[in-house]
Amino acid sequence: MSEPSVVWQVDQHQRILRRDVTAFAELCEILLPQLVTFLQTIFPAHDSHLREQVVIDCLLDYQARPQQYNPGKLALWPFFRMAVRRDMLNMLDKQGRYGHRLYPIDDPHIVSQLPSVEDVQEDMALDDWLQGHTERPREEIVAALQAELEPLDQQMLWLMLDGVRETTIYAAMMDLTHLDVASQRREVKKAKDRILKKVQRFGQNL
């Protein structure tokens, strides 16, 4: 099932802010199975009940505190994908699974969660430019830059600024999860390079 339109996502969020119980039920009906599938893709070796519980807890936390979500920063679907992935990692950490076993470095699911040298360099270049190229406030720069970017590139820009480096997150946003890990890295890197070039051109016009 594809994602609902951004307009629909914004409308549902506004209804949930108004404590519309029906709106939250409608959101869960579509979003819950998609988030479970997302976690299954990046955590295939772990318990299915654990993945489902993480998603349910994340949705309930959002229902209790919908104001934690900033629609101006990221669309609702990518926000939830980031949230459930973070919560899943936290849950696994609490259970000691990451602290008490070694993972094979050639496991593609492990490799996909590690930052590459290119990712680190790209993130540093972007943030360094924003902080060092001009004295204008960072928020003002980002707001002006977003007007130059397509919606998907805007979402990727926010992730890059937030220090998100995991290929799986970007690949999910770009609907590349059907590709192998190497292909996902290649396509994500191309997208990041395109965004960086737009940032550089934007800087030349300041």
Residue 149, domain member (yes or no): yes
Q: Which of 69, 94, 119 is the last residue of a domain?
A: 94
**SS3 for 161?**
helix
Confidence (pLDDT) at 111: 44
Residue 46, domain member (yes or no): yes
Both 62 and 134 in one domain: the answer is: no
Q: Which of 71, 94, 117 is the last residue of a domain?
A: 94
Both 82 and 22 in one domain: the answer is: yes
Provide the residue-wise pLDDT of the chain in tens; the chain has 206 residues. 578 888 999 999 999 999 988 999 999 999 999 999 989 888 888 888 889 999 999 999 999 999 989 888 788 988 898 889 888 888 877 766 444 444 444 445 544 444 443 443 444 445 555 555 555 565 666 667 767 778 788 778 777 766 677 788 888 888 888 888 889 989 998 998 888 777 767 665 65
Residue 101, domain member (yes or no): no
Both 51 and 136 in one domain: the answer is: no
| Range of the structural domain that residue 156 is part of | 108-204
Both 44 and 74 in one domain: the answer is: yes
Distance between CA atoms of 110 and 104, rounded to whole angstroms? 8
Residue 99, domain member (yes or no): no
Residue 103, domain member (yes or no): no
Confidence (pLDDT) at 33: 93
Q: Which of 94, 128, 145 is the last residue of a domain?
A: 94
Both 196 and 132 in one domain: the answer is: yes
Both 21 and 45 in one domain: the answer is: yes
Confidence (pLDDT) at 134: 53
Number of structural domains found in the chain: 2
Both 82 and 128 in one domain: the answer is: no
Distance between CA atoms of 119 and 191, rounded to whole angstroms? 12
Both 112 and 199 in one domain: the answer is: yes
pLDDT digits (tens, 9 = 90+) for 97-133: 444 444 444 445 544 444 443 443 444 445 555 555 5
Both 13 and 82 in one domain: the answer is: yes
Both 148 and 65 in one domain: the answer is: no
Burial of 35 (0-12, 13-18, 19+ CB in 10 A): buried
Residue 160, domain member (yes or no): yes
Residue 180, domain member (yes or no): yes
Both 122 and 183 in one domain: the answer is: yes
Q: Let me know: does 168 contact 184? Beta carbons within 8 Å.
A: yes
Helices (H), the chain: 6-17, 21-42, 48-64, 76-94, 108-111, 117-132, 138-146, 151-161, 167-173, 181-204
Confidence (pLDDT) at 55: 94
pTM over the 0.75 mark: no
Residue 182, domain member (yes or no): yes
Both 90 and 169 in one domain: the answer is: no
Nearest by Cα to 152 from 75, 84, 38, 39 = 75
Confidence (pLDDT) at 163: 64
